[in-house]
Structure 1
């Protein structure tokens, strides 16, 4: 028995109980009409009817917490009014079976319209801006095409049973689908090739037993008697095994290395414990509604969660006792978030429940405006004035299909006004972007995968215009096959199976990088060879049972092996780094507070302390909290910020001063360093239209600190001061996202590690965003600022 139902003598449902007898839902009735239902200890809703009869209609609804709605019925529409006084109207035509919902007038007065054919089937939707999306149907009423407002058409061809056999879209994209006599999908043929599905289990004829991708690699599955996945066998014959209890709950997962994660469940099927491969154990506690209310881990770790009657989180208590509070308005929207250090963020909404403003603990206020279709059209930095003294407002334009067409940036003290424009293909993929500094164009292959990028940058001051391009070819499965970056020779990507990276080679440069994987396809050895060098450079790495980096070893021609070992505490935090045989790096130990924040490190005989408040902000001296979440002083340096929270000045104890200026998008555009002797160095940065759309790698200027970690491509120029009457010189470089170590096609979402030299020894990016981390959070690898 799964559930048990309790009825009144009149036959009305009173309660639902699970198989162990616990009530999970209760109901109240009057004249067989539902008047209330509730979750014990949770939400309750009550209904008022115009008459207690089968033809009666609800005229009022009240919920726990004060939310309420009233309903007024008219011949051609129904009016709904909520507890905030907002009105919506649902318009209808016809009567009885022929009645159709034709329009929806929303709380802001905007109207969505619905159109129907003679058979009463919906054939189009018109949004408040008049943009129409059309549905085409066959004689059986099945959808066979959808036409977007810009005319882009996606078509579906169906067989006699109504199953899709062909999907065709813009840009000549097309897929053919084949099925067996049971209707199981057996073959999909598209621009990238053919994927086949095999069904060899007669007891479970709807479960695929093998999937062979377009490259010929097979992935096999085995199922238990209940139809649950029991074994996965990947393209390299590596097995992952799943075990279940008699109720079908997952008991254990064992990977290809024999590492097992085990699970325990209660009688309701809720997970109560997780045992990781290193035998560390986590406990999970739930309330009667099945919500996670507490989890306990090794070393006394404990985190608690509290909910209101509507099931919304209202309090989180971390392992250090820090409390994070969540408050909601009468419409159930998050209105205030208070961090453990007392810093509060406040949110306000418009009549359509869209975020209208947010105010941070530092006083930064941002406002948002939308058009009648719900598209963001303005974002205003209320606390940051532009060059005209007015609050900075960024404006957005959209095309007929609702895709971003332009972003208009106002002028600031340090940057001119500008517009970034975006162009799209008919299938919805980005075709290109441009601004006053240049343009970027993207090319795709026949399968719609990113195949090339061409950048053109206009001249900057005395520097000539320049351009750069990148071409990319893919395997049938979408993995990288070959790349060409600018004028460099072609880079070949070597993959196996379903696309796992096995190596790279650049014959034109005489370089080859071989990668050796383990059974989980993780890199265990990186071997770099080059022409003229008889011995390779070899980097080896090992892993813990939890997948953490355990060991790094580097050896090369004529050099002593350099080795590092890493240890972790029971909560998975890096606690110790030591040098192994031949290693020269210092031994470092790390200490964390109960909430998992790094608070100290020991570098040999040198100790470092990193005091933080309850929200993780670094503290100076005897300070106990940064309630505005801004660092104004740390390690003797003073920091100033603008109204948007951007760092605009840093002054060291010795008088060295760094001044920073930003554009309307809060990107660094000007940087000036003034030495204690009064000499200055300046740098300016400009960005292409990608903004956060195209991750690449920064090249660090040698004379100045690097730009902030704002994604997008920037061009940096700086001038070195004249010394001894020597002529000045300048330099320009393309710079981009600093922490990127991969090439990521926007269309496939697949990421392949790119070789880097020298090896970074798992050291994270050390650049700091001036606004978010002016103090430079200590690296868990180096422990330094």
Structure 2
């Protein structure tokens, strides 16, 4: 047995056993180098023995006799020593799915038009909407400051393969990306990243490193010494250069990119592997000519192959392999100049078409699967050039077409010396934008001449937003670019604490003092969530980052199991009842079986469209699609057909019900609904302003509603004009309701013809009070509004998690109490009376009680099935039994005397029969006598027939 083994209680990617790995070059013990203070183990731990005096280093330098795998860095087995390590990992799964995020740069330097992500949670919805509008000059995005055309949306995601580390195949087009890609100029994939090294001839320490991201940007990283890591705040990632001269790029959210030398390009490193913080990975394999030909995970459950044209080397198709089977996921078609013109999915449906400008070589048109097409005209600006001295082209005109009909049109006029852009849209609406030296928008005026101003720091982080009414939002950040405080115009601040190494939150403190806390395990998964009341939810994870279970604040446990792909195959609820899921060999959902052992099965197309849904009783719902993949027909289990018609935007323009009646939807050129026409040809009509907000509404009886807005987008007035009345010769007067708001959009008052209602806010309460308008107008006339006497007042008080705990008015106080899961357990009424509620599990009602002073009365008790549906209710002297069929429909309701035998005639016995369409076709009722031996009683039958509409 080796004598150089050690024990280590820290988490490591490398598995035990661990050994002493380093020792003296000159001194040996048992023919092995002697280990001293500071020498390392195979997991990178260091020997540390406190010495009373200064350290004396004997035995010369150190020699490594075993491979050292970092105990701090889960990927150091491949990379060797990385100084600084990776600490505990990155953000939790919840965080990565779009929970609380720091405000990163809204847009980076020239060409980076992909990063426009701002967190609504932290920033405020009004600011988010304004910033988004400011940076995109048209809705089919053109970046305002650079004039660049960008595609990076859902329509350009060709497929997604589920897995522990999912493969998302998205095409990214950026007109300022001058690089040639497998799809042509300007295109890139998320894995199209690489590093280049500028050899200065002065050694490795003086090389200039560049990172080429998926948008085509060439980011200067500066000089990175061997064994050094550098964090780039404006980009939000860290670059490691190992002592073995290997490179790792780490995102703030816990994704990693590993690079290897490219044998076909000197001083270039290509992507070899991408992984998450649990070392779930995708591997990239290259052919002898250097082209990427395969992407696979560790178990080859995700295994795709890239197929190229032998002459042009353009990507022709991508196939997925499962054992000996193969299927095509996407196919690409090119024109004679080898420019991408068509994308075809796994169902052989064309999902995208493209057209190109011959002079600039840039995208002149892209067409959606539905047929609507977006067009662009380019202009060359010779006085301003981008990287590599390429001429600068900007979009100067955009129009949207539905076949030959123009739907939208925008002209873009730039003043590059002043850094401004003016757009003129269909109908003459004008917008204006101004940007700073970093291409960050600092001024935006919308079509209603309302202006927002923005301020940014040197790292391109938003620090201030000023609304058209002068309201200000402020933001501060830590040294890593994480948002630490946001302050709204009412001077309410929300504060955030972050992990010291990675961009995930550890605490959020709201303006009312409520604080949420998150704790993480060493892998970066959420271990505990602590709410503002101190209630704790615990989560457990496996080594792949899959949640194995959670225990709520009441101790209820929910457990999960997964297949090798990381797909959920079983969930056991707090009562131990399982729900199971199965999948086909390609990972598509095949069946779902609930806790009652009732199974629903599914079939999907190759591209993932739901085709059939077979219900537990054997009936089936079917779904039909047109050539573009849009849902156009539904056939339910009762063979009723619903037909849908769509326009080229994909909007439903008509719906035919099973009886053959049509419901029509009419849209304007902007895609806004103008009219809804019912089966009788009667219409609801709608109108909009230049910001596409609803301004007018006309209903079937002639009633009209008109909406007005303030500069912040809040509704300030609703004017309702009644329709003509045959019994009243004179037209009825309009009803006007007006609204007022504070600077953060909270309602302050509401006025109609009768009353003025006011809303007063405190950190944990809101008070409503009202006064007749006659009294209010008199107080306004005399200047005594501060002393007006309100007739009614009602105060709602909340706890720190937002639960209503008190309602106070002149009629008395009502107080509410909750358990740790937020289920209401007691409602106290005036005069020492109360309703009380008992639950089991995570919140299923088990008993309702009435308390009158010291007297307690049980109102009802409940029993439930494995789906937690009510099956028995004891109320007073009656037991009420409820039964269900496999589709969840009630089949019987039987009321008996409490604890009576099943063979005793029920007090009431109701039976129900249903057809395949979920329509009740028979209801039978029997009224019996208590205490008698069960005999067939007299039944009353009610039968129902329906027209095709279900009437």
- Separation in structure 1 between the aligned mates of residue 673 and residue 565 of structure 2, nearest angstrom: 44
Alpha-carbon contact 1:107-1:352 (below 8 Å) kept: no
Aligned to 2:941: 607
Helix, strand or coil for the counterpart of 1:453?
strand
Aligned to 1:427: 744
CA offset at residue 525 of structure 1?
A: 0.8
1:126 paired with 2:445, answer yes
CA offset at residue 427 of structure 1?
A: 1.4
1:275 paired with 2:593, answer yes
- Separation in structure 1 between the aligned mates of residue 806 and residue 644 of structure 2, nearest angstrom: 50
CA offset at residue 158 of structure 1?
A: 0.7
CA offset at residue 90 of structure 1?
A: 4.8
Aligned to 1:230: 548
CA offset at residue 273 of structure 1?
A: 0.5
1:378 paired with 2:707, answer no
Aligned to 1:496: 819
Select 1:487's aligned residue among 810, 822, 826.
Answer: 810
Alpha-carbon contact 2:308-2:315 (below 8 Å) kept: yes
1:185 paired with 2:505, answer yes
CA offset at residue 63 of structure 1?
A: 5.8
Aligned to 2:882: 566
1:56 paired with 2:380, answer no
CA spacing shift, 1:595–1:106, aligned 2, 3 Å: farther
Aligned to 1:402: 713
Aligned to 1:544: 865
- Separation in structure 1 between the aligned mates of residue 768 and residue 880 of structure 2, nearest angstrom: 39
Alignment of 1:436-515 (within 5 A): 436-446=753-763, 451-456=766-771, 467-484=791-808, 486-506=809-829, 508-515=830-837
- Separation in structure 1 between the aligned mates of residue 766 and residue 704 of structure 2, nearest angstrom: 36
Deviations 1:117-166 (A, max 9, x none): 24331123221101122222123321012223233322211111111111
- Separation in structure 2 between the aligned mates of residue 521 and residue 60 of structure 1, nearest angstrom: 54
- Separation in structure 1 between the aligned mates of residue 492 and residue 370 of structure 2, nearest angstrom: 51
- Separation in structure 1 between the aligned mates of residue 866 and residue 430 of structure 2, nearest angstrom: 57
- Separation in structure 1 between the aligned mates of residue 366 and residue 481 of structure 2, nearest angstrom: 41
Aligned to 1:295: 613
Alpha-carbon contact 1:197-1:208 (below 8 Å) kept: no
Deviations 1:53-103 (A, max 9, x none): 8x41334555666544544334571243513223522525367xx997824
- Separation in structure 2 between the aligned mates of residue 301 and residue 226 of structure 1, nearest angstrom: 39
1:32 paired with 2:338, answer yes
CA spacing shift, 1:171–1:616, aligned 2, 3 Å: farther
CA offset at residue 288 of structure 1?
A: 1.1
Alpha-carbon contact 2:559-2:571 (below 8 Å) kept: yes
Helix, strand or coil for the counterpart of 2:608?
coil
CA spacing shift, 1:528–1:423, aligned 2, 3 Å: same
Aligned to 2:515: 195
Deviations 1:317-340 (A, max 9, x none): 011111101101244332101111
Greater Cα shift, 186-195 or 227-236: 186-195
- Separation in structure 2 between the aligned mates of residue 99 and residue 60 of structure 1, nearest angstrom: 29
Aligned to 2:487: 168
Q: TM-score, normalised by structure 2?
A: 0.59
CA spacing shift, 1:94–1:34, aligned 2, 3 Å: farther
- Separation in structure 2 between the aligned mates of residue 79 and residue 238 of structure 1, nearest angstrom: 57
- Separation in structure 2 between the aligned mates of residue 597 and residue 534 of structure 1, nearest angstrom: 45
CA spacing shift, 1:512–1:86, aligned 2, 3 Å: closer
Helix, strand or coil for the counterpart of 2:397?
strand
Alpha-carbon contact 1:71-1:81 (below 8 Å) kept: no
Alignment of 1:132-171 (within 5 A): 132-171=451-490
Select 2:528's aligned residue among 210, 227, 247.
Answer: 210
Alpha-carbon contact 1:36-1:45 (below 8 Å) kept: yes
Q: TM-score, normalised by structure 1?
A: 0.71
Helix, strand or coil for the counterpart of 2:617?
helix
CA offset at residue 4 of structure 1?
A: 1.6
- Separation in structure 1 between the aligned mates of residue 457 and residue 370 of structure 2, nearest angstrom: 48
CA spacing shift, 1:64–1:250, aligned 2, 3 Å: closer
Alpha-carbon contact 1:107-1:351 (below 8 Å) kept: no
CA spacing shift, 1:26–1:349, aligned 2, 3 Å: same
- Separation in structure 2 between the aligned mates of residue 468 and residue 585 of structure 1, nearest angstrom: 47
Alpha-carbon contact 1:579-1:586 (below 8 Å) kept: yes
CA spacing shift, 1:247–1:606, aligned 2, 3 Å: same
Alpha-carbon contact 1:165-1:176 (below 8 Å) kept: yes
Alpha-carbon contact 1:399-1:405 (below 8 Å) kept: yes
Alpha-carbon contact 1:215-1:498 (below 8 Å) kept: no
Deviations 1:625-647 (A, max 9, x none): xxxxxxxxxxxxxxxxxxxxxxx
Helix, strand or coil for the counterpart of 2:526?
coil
Helix, strand or coil for the counterpart of 1:89?
strand
- Separation in structure 2 between the aligned mates of residue 498 and residue 570 of structure 1, nearest angstrom: 30
Structure 2: any 5+ residue segments left out of the alignment? 1-295, 297-301, 381-393, 776-788, 901-905, 927-938
Alpha-carbon contact 1:408-1:420 (below 8 Å) kept: yes
Aligned length: 590
Aligned to 1:93: 414
CA spacing shift, 1:116–1:24, aligned 2, 3 Å: same
Helix, strand or coil for the counterpart of 1:550?
strand
Helix, strand or coil for the counterpart of 2:908?
coil
- Separation in structure 2 between the aligned mates of residue 606 and residue 57 of structure 1, nearest angstrom: 76
Select 1:42's aligned residue among 346, 349, 356.
Answer: 349
Structure 1: any 5+ residue segments left out of the alignment? 386-391, 556-560, 618-785
- Separation in structure 2 between the aligned mates of residue 146 and residue 311 of structure 1, nearest angstrom: 41
- Separation in structure 1 between the aligned mates of residue 420 and residue 888 of structure 2, nearest angstrom: 55
Alpha-carbon contact 1:280-1:570 (below 8 Å) kept: yes
Aligned to 1:526: 848
- Separation in structure 1 between the aligned mates of residue 752 and residue 856 of structure 2, nearest angstrom: 48
Select 1:109's aligned residue among 420, 428, 432.
Answer: 428
- Separation in structure 1 between the aligned mates of residue 891 and residue 470 of structure 2, nearest angstrom: 58
Alpha-carbon contact 2:415-2:421 (below 8 Å) kept: no
Alpha-carbon contact 1:517-1:523 (below 8 Å) kept: yes
- Separation in structure 2 between the aligned mates of residue 568 and residue 87 of structure 1, nearest angstrom: 53
Alpha-carbon contact 1:477-1:499 (below 8 Å) kept: no
